[in-house]
Chain A
Amino acid sequence: MDCAFRVAFASGVNPSLLRCALALVGTACLGAAPAPMKLWPGIAPGEKSGSAAGPETTKSAGYLTGGRPVAILGNVSEPTLTVYRAPADKDTGAAVVVFPGGGYYVLAWDLEGTEACEWLNSIGVTGVLVKYRVPRREGLPPYAAPLQDAQRAVGMVRSHAKEWGLDPKRIGAMGFSAGGNLCAVLSKNSVARTYPRVDASDEASCRPDFQLLIYPAYLVPDSGGYTIVPEAAVTGATPPTFLVMAEDDPIHVENVLGYAMALKEAKVPLELHVYPIGGHGYGLRPTKNPLTSWPQRAADWLKSRGLLDRG
């Protein structure tokens, strides 16, 4: 509704209102999508010019999730962020930088990206959607190029906080699957940038003030166990964390159980919800499964931490 309203406001034309309303039935309201901003002024660090990977691709996944198709982005070599401003009448001043999943191979763009930003907007939070580099770069850890993009993105948001009407102390991160891994890796690696300084944005802290890891991947070794991998290690400086996962997730519930134990040991406030069934990759699309009510748990958590107080 809000989306339709904004388009109508911008264009003043009825047909676009209709088109927008129809689009809402599907996925995001394309008409109102804000413009992406490039993360890097030139070529992203570590990339070779004239990306060998070929042009960016958008496809529909070969399956339905929550009864709807999923848009999959591939071959991302020009990372961006897109700011989905909270509607003025609801704006709390809080922001969440969103990292979609896709195994560091692709990005589940609507399911774990634009739809997350729409939900954040509905609770008065600005969503900042990061299109980070995929697939994995040869010769580098899978998270290496995405971590640079994530550090850069959070720094840009924080350094533009005043200009964008955001509270620089309420900038969180939220990630799904590999994007959840990226959040945890960012939280561990927010003391120093992993690329040479580009501009003033790189002087702002890139530490998320809070993080939401939704069915995160790769936090524990493939070989099993509950010990967190070094690149995502938890310390007393890890931000307060919200975790959700299904017990039957093929990516393994050990990821959240292990991370929760590490947070507890480090005395970092945590909230954890494990549901018995639900698998992986459900995003925020509601079904009859109580697991899919997790956004309500997340909203309650944000609220209980005072993150939704009007600044």
Chain B
Amino acid sequence: MTPPIVRCALALLGSVCLGAEPTPMKLWPGIAPGDKGGLGQEIDTTTAKDNLIAGRSVIRLGNVSDPTITVYPPTQGKDTGAAVVVFPGGGFHILAMDLEGTEVCAWLNSIGVTGVLLKYRVPAREGRPEYAAPLQDAQRALGIVRSHAKEWGIDPHRIGVLGFSAGGHLAATLSANSQARTYPRVDESDDASCRPDFQILIYPGGVVERGGYALAPDVAVTAKTPPTFLVMAQDDPVRPENVLGYAMALEGEKVPMELHVYPSGGHGYGLRPTRDFVTSWPQRAADWMRSRGLLGPQ
């Protein structure tokens, strides 16, 4: 039997420390709003045939009907009091739960930030826009985190979001729809603001309308859109128009933004380092958070 501390150190070399895995919390007391059930069992849909990312496999979680948040607090000596709610991608079909979830929380912890991993509902619900159920989950998650800020040792004014691909779209949709909940009030968590204090969009999809730079209506930018950090590769098949269009809209509203477009890297690299310099984005993101005072006094 390996001692837990060794097992933990070994696991850190891979992704997260399994020995310390925190417990997920259900977002909704009963069935999530608008759901009728009958989706089937939540399941990792990855098979041996699926691509590896930076030489490793990816969890592709499907059939999510019981959304949760999982809180990953940083080690005590490092804690800055900031928190980031993480939205994995997966085209609103599945969730890349490790690549764009647990691995992100491990990185956030390394810079003293609490990671809150949102498992939102996928696939898209029939007869509803693909982001509709995930938006309810995201609004609920932000409200829960902010209303528990004191209890969890989080600064309620430094709660951001970070999303990849469809999760980036979800972050932008949440920022555009944080004035009013899109579901009936459940409890006092829904009285707290669900507006992110800052947002980090990594290779976001679905932000612009097809074939141009005009924003999709559900991600409209206003002067109240939170300060934004954007990263994408020029050769991303999901298309860099998504970040260029969003950056132009932010600039037009004088919302502080940071944008990094790298020539190569494709899509779906998460935080796994490869030869492409786009995979150094976590360093840029940490610098951005630090320079905005989000990681404590400079």
Binding site for B on A (CB under 8 A): 226, 240, 247, 253-254, 257, 260-261, 264, 269-277, 288-290, 293, 300-301, 304
Contact = CB atoms under 8 A, between A and B. Distances in A.
B263 interface: yes
B24 to A, nearest CB: 35
A276 B227 contact: yes
A269 B263 contact: yes
Contacts of A257: 244, 247-248, 251
A272 B244 CA distance: 10
Contacts of B260: 272-274
Nearest to A246: B258
Contacts of A276: 227, 256-258, 288
Interface in B234-276: 234, 240-241, 244, 247-248, 251, 256-264, 275-276
Contacts of A226: 248
Nearest to A226: B248
Given A257-B251, A264-B240, A247 B262 contact: no
B298 interface: yes
29 contacts: A226-B248, A240-B263, A247-B256, A247-B257, A253-B251, A257-B244, A257-B247, A260-B244, A260-B261, A261-B213, A264-B234, A264-B241, A270-B234, A271-B234, A272-B259, A272-B260, A273-B260, A274-B259, A276-B227, A276-B256, A288-B298, A289-B291, A290-B287, A290-B290, A301-B263, A301-B277, A304-B263, A304-B264, A304-B277
Contacts of B275: 304
Contacts of B247: 257, 274
Contact of B261 (A271, A290, A293): A271
B280 interface: yes
Contacts of B234: 264, 269-271
B122 to A, nearest CB: 30
A301 B262 CA distance: 9
Given A247-B256, A253-B251, A304-B277, A270 B244 contact: no
A240 B234 CA distance: 12
A309 B41 CA distance: 53
A63 B256 CA distance: 26
A83 B276 CA distance: 32
A274 B232 CA distance: 12
A272 B261 contact: yes
Nearest to A277: B256
Contacts of B244: 257, 260-261, 264
A64 B86 CA distance: 42
Contacts of A304: 263-264, 275-277
A64 to B, nearest CB: 21
B263 A274 contact: no
A274 B264 CA distance: 17
Interface in B95-147: none
Given A269-B234, A270-B263, A271-B263, A290 B291 contact: yes
A300 B261 CA distance: 13
Nearest to B227: A276
Given A271-B261, A290-B288, 14 more contacts: A226-B248, A247-B256, A247-B257, A257-B244, A264-B241, A264-B244, A269-B263, A273-B259, A274-B247, A276-B257, A276-B288, A290-B290, A301-B263, A301-B277
A277 B291 CA distance: 10
Query: Can you list the 5 inter-chain pairs with the closest CB atoms, starting with the nearest?
Result: A290-B287, A276-B256, A274-B259, A272-B261, A269-B263
Nearest to B291: A290
Contacts of B259: 272-274
A253 B257 CA distance: 11
* Max chain B Cβ within 10 angstroms of own Cβ: one of A271, A289, A293, A300: A271
Given A264-B234, A301-B277, A293 B287 contact: yes
Nearest to A263: B234
Nearest to A254: B251
Contacts of B256: 247, 276-277
B112 to A, nearest CB: 17
Contacts of A253: 251
A244 B13 CA distance: 35
Nearest to A248: B256
Given A269-B234, A276-B257, A247 B263 contact: no
Interface string B193-229: 0000000000000000000010000000000000100
A39 to B, nearest CB: 33
A47 to B, nearest CB: 40
